[in-house]
Amino acid sequence: MGGPEWAVVVPVKRIGAAKTRLRGGIPGVPHDQLVLALAQDTVRGALGCPVVAEVLVVTDDPVAAAAVRRLGARVVPDRPDAGLNRAIEFGAAELARSGRGVAALTADLPALRPAELAAALRAAAAGRGFVPDAAGTGTTLLAAPVGVRLAPQFGPDSAARHAGSGARRLAGDWPSLRRDVDTAADLAVAAALGLGPHTAACWRASGVTVHGVDRTAGGFDGMQGTVSEFDPQTRAGSLLLDDGTPLRFGAAAFEASGLRLLRLGQRVQVERDQAGEVTRITIPTMRE
């Protein structure tokens, strides 16, 4: 293929009315700020995806619109103003003119990794498909290749409804793509995967521990990557972060990890100081 093959629509509700079950999810952080951060990190992840050419946000919220424009997304108002699926259909119709496949992504994926989104979209190239959420009942991604109608069925039990409408359930190891956030417990699991910078800033703003994840420990950074080099003699090496950035780490960061060895290709999460230096390496865990 000659270039990015997909365009992605992200519907964003008015921030004040969104994610009501998440209210108080981070004590001391205003609800509107947290919800906006989830949307920003979702859009950021989609924009970083190598097979995505364009991200279109459908929203009537002026604050959200301005924030995602700064990230590089295009914004259109929710002209139908008739719920989630109509907003997605409206955005999908706009994107279909590009001649690319169109996908819809929920706006609550703060740990989204571009590589996982790319893998799911490549899997959808063979036909309309969806990725279920972590619970297995909802949907985080619905994708349709060129010439195929998206036909969104988001809402309660959307996974079953998408399957019933003929969409294939896309199978893959994509924890950040499936980890939507509706509650504080969901947010803690997303934090264990590694939050994007906007949600991580909200997470750090409160010093208390929620659901066993300490926001203040070790200058939490949250980025994940893959070990690309490791010298057992010097105990130093390098990582390739999920956004494609190479990152060196020294012996002190490795020794702070408590690990005995790192393998090439191993998945790790990094903590960095204010200067961007790696201070600790950990093995990411998934807590459901």
> What is the pLDDT at residue 218?
35
How far is residue 67 from each of residues 12, 15, 39, 175, 286, measured CA to CA in Å?
Answer: 12, 12, 9, 26, 30
In tens digits, the chain (288 residues) has pLDDT values of 455 799 999 999 999 999 999 998 888 899 999 999 999 999 999 999 999 999 999 999 999 999 999 999 999 999 999 999 999 999 999 999 889 999 999 999 999 999 999 999 999 999 999 999 999 999 999 999 999 999 999 999 999 999 999 999 998 889 999 999 999 888 988 887 888 999 988 888 765 444 444 444 333 455 777 888 888 888 888 887 765 667 788 888 888 888 888 888 888 888 876 556 788 888 875 433
Q: Which residues, in sequence order, are CB contacts of 175 under 8 Å at separation 6+? A: 111, 116, 134, 193, 286
> What is the pLDDT at residue 1?
45
Alpha helices in 14-56 (DSSP H): 31-47
C-alpha to C-alpha distance for 188 and 41, rounded to whole angstroms: 16
This prediction's pTM: 0.74
Q: Which residues, in sequence order, are CB contacts of 48 under 8 Å at separation 6+? A: 114, 243, 244
Pick the closest to residue 200 from 49, 75, 29 (CA basis).
29
Q: Is 54 helix (H, G, I), strand (E, B) or coil?
A: strand
What is the separation of C-alpha 213 from the centre of its chain, rounded to a whole number of angstroms? 19
> What is the pLDDT at residue 244?
61
> What is the pLDDT at residue 265?
82
> What is the pLDDT at residue 276?
63
Put residue 265 in one of left, alpha, beta given phi > 0 → left and psi -120 to 50 → alpha. left
